[in-house]
């Protein structure tokens, strides 16, 4: 009977996009019942492009998901990835060189202001205190 059931269930293949419903959530991932009736797992590291502390932060039991089949092992266990279907967000400033030039100019201005302030403090300290020069006191020849 198990052979007959396996024959009627369409097999999924690596790289295929599948849909299913979350049946169980564990600390390490979520188990999904595929539309084909097969059971698959999404590891916590495959839930999102962003860091996921707890599976429950991303998925809940009964939720419909779409994922990519990334592995089928020798025992027929199916591993899914939701993050493989997400577009990776890359933030790059449009005018990177311009931003760098602005930051460098601001840094140089602040640096010059601090140096000028430091130099003026040193000058006032030098002129404010006079030291006596010459030989021992009270011995004039």
Query: Residue ranges of the domains in the chain?
Result: 2-85, 93-125
pTM over the 0.85 mark: no
Q: What is the per-residue pLDDT across 100-121, written as a single tens digit (0 to 9) for each?
A: 888 889 999 999 988 988 888 8
CATH tag for 2-85 (out of 3.40.50.10860, 2.40.50.140, 3.30.750.210, 3.30.70.100): 2.40.50.140
d(CA 1, CA 76): 18
Q: Which pLDDT band, with edges at 50, 70 and 90, does 79 fall under?
A: very high
How far, in Å, CA of 80 to CA of 44, rounded?
10
Place of tokens 């539309």: 35
pLDDT in tens, 10-38: 588 899 999 999 999 999 999 999 998 99
């Amino acid at each position: 009977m198990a052979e007959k059931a396996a024959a009627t269930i369409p097999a999924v293949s690596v790289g295929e996009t599948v849909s299913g419903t979350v049946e169980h959530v564990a600390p390490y991932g979520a188990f999904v019942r595929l539309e084909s009736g097969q059971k698959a797992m999404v590891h916590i590291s495959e839930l999102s492009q962003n860091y996921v502390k707890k599976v429950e932060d991303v998925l809940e039991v009964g939720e419909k998901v779409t994922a990519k089949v990334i592995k089928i092992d020798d025992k027929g266990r199916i591993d899914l990835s939701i993050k493989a279907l997400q577009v990776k967000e890359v933030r790059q400033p449009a005018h990177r060189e311009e931003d760098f030039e602005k930051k460098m100019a601001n840094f140089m201005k602040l640096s010059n202001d601090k140096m000028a302030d430091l130099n003026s403090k040193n000058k006032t300290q030098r002129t404010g205190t006079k030291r006596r020069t010459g030989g021992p006191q009270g011995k004039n020849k």
